[in-house]
Structure 1
Amino acid sequence: MDGRNHTNINGFLLLGFSEHREQRLLLFGLFLGMYLVTVVGNLIIILAIRSDLHLHSPMYFFLANLSFSDIGFISTIVPKMLDNISSGTKLISYGGCLTQLYFFGLFADLDNFLLAVMALDRYVAISHPLHYTTTMNSRRCVLLVAGSWVITAFHALVHTLLVTRLSFCGPNIIPHFFCDLVPLLKLACSSTYVSDLVLTLVAGPLLIGPFLCILTSYFHIALAVLRIDSPKGKQKAFSNCTSHLSVVFLFYSTAIGVYLCPPSTYSDGKDRVFSVMYTVVTPMLNPFIYSLRNRDMKGALEKLLRRAPTLFLRPCKTQN
């Protein structure tokens, strides 16, 4: 009998973290604080870029999109995790799990693509500065971001639709704090051959391709910097890349810890610790990296913070 499109369970149990009430309260406060810091921090980055004309350039256009993606990334996971921690139920519905699976795949891939696009932007700015304005024009920047959205949305949709073809008949326990693809496939009681094949043939190149683009871009950037005679010029060129390099290192080091390192048993919690770093800590630190290591961002943030009280305290005009 064909088991496709049939499931005998209404939802899944996410093991999450500690069962003890005291530790649950501590985890709830910790993750809530990290979530609020991430959302507020990335929103401030977006507002600062939008409000400062000096930041209306391709680099900051891509950064604003990365900040928006990070908000979506963490919002896909943490609110449901907070609900499960506070209620202690650990339950997520079948539809909720598929929704979380889709948006997690979308925003994780989008971060990957945007980091590659930002590396390409830095390569053009440093290696071909005279052609930067014409090469990275507004139309091409929009196409790069729109193309990243389309590819990642389609990729996430393919994996989600393939999961809907699987049959789940128990057990329904996911040893994780969100619905990730690989742990979910392990629970299927029907063949996962097609999903595994797509994961190998499509997901692999889509994940490795942007990373190779970043490595290639920075290889050529390094060659261009070495050709600069002035030490001050070298320092200026390198300073334009430090923030992006820091975010790239943080993103890929935690992602490798989750997906490429030898799998450990889920019971020891190591996989969940790496996943927290990848899904929660990285989006939270990105605004701090860009604001603390970038002089233009610092200036824009200072202007925005100085204007904030006047925006909220401005008296309303009354009509006579």
Structure 2
Amino acid sequence: MRERPRNPAIPGTARDRTGTAGLLRNALAQINRRFDGLRKDVLAIFDRIPVYALNDEAALVRYGITPEVMDMTMLEIEAALDRWIQNGREPRYLFWWDPFVNQAAQLGTAQSVANLAQLSSVYATARTLDLVISSEPYRTRVGLARIKSYEHWTGLRAEGQSRLAAVIGRAVADGLNPHAARKLIEEALGVTKSKAAQYAQTDITDTLRQARWAEAEATTQELGIKIGMLWTSALQPTTRATHAMRNGRVYSTDEVRAFYGRDGNRYNCHCGQTECLLDADGKPILSNRLTRMMEAEQQSWVLAKSSY
């Protein structure tokens, strides 16, 4: 009797194909806390600049600021940004974002190990989660991911500093009243915070996906098991058509990497890729039921999209 094909285990939901929603919520909560602290510190620094006016609502005021005071103000803002965004640390130390990189990598690896173990008895007897995460290739990948993330947050901090310096410098030079200046400062911080949140989502899902690609490749190289990556689109209203149309299709890890390496596809993407077995001809081993289900998901998304 022919054995029925074992379908891959797809994590999350149709809106969260990577299963990282909980991790992302925790990351965004951390970012909100940090930027709330940063906002309070920066506004307090600005409020220490002397103002000569009858009241805070005057259209134009005169700031009692010298080049030395401005330099000190910028140094204090730089220190605040270091404290809340960069943490003033070097990559060799534990950076505040490192735990999120670690968790994303481990979650992706755990998903792969669990999925491949139920797809292949050969895999189940050869590899375990503990074995994989203690391996040198895994530790190297996580280390490189940490450095990449640290460099990003360092760049974001520098960008935020430049933006704040421009806003405060212009407000002082133009004599803008403090109330209006504070609003501009908060808007500048909001831009930086929005970019931080965008990066958090991108980095978490990207780290998880890369962990899965790596485990799929290791499985093929070390055990000779042919693996394809079943694309599971996050069928949200904001999902790009080029992403949604891949739902249910199977690609090689090289093809997936190439897709994410162009046209900004890696940004704001909630799609996932799940390992599936390939037969001797390289065709994916999937049940007809799963194939039809994913086709129906895509069609429903297209219909819903057309009605927006």
Same fold (TM over 0.5): no
Give the structure with the larger helix fraction.
1
TM-score normalised by the chain length of structure 2: 0.32
* Structure ID, larger Rg: 2
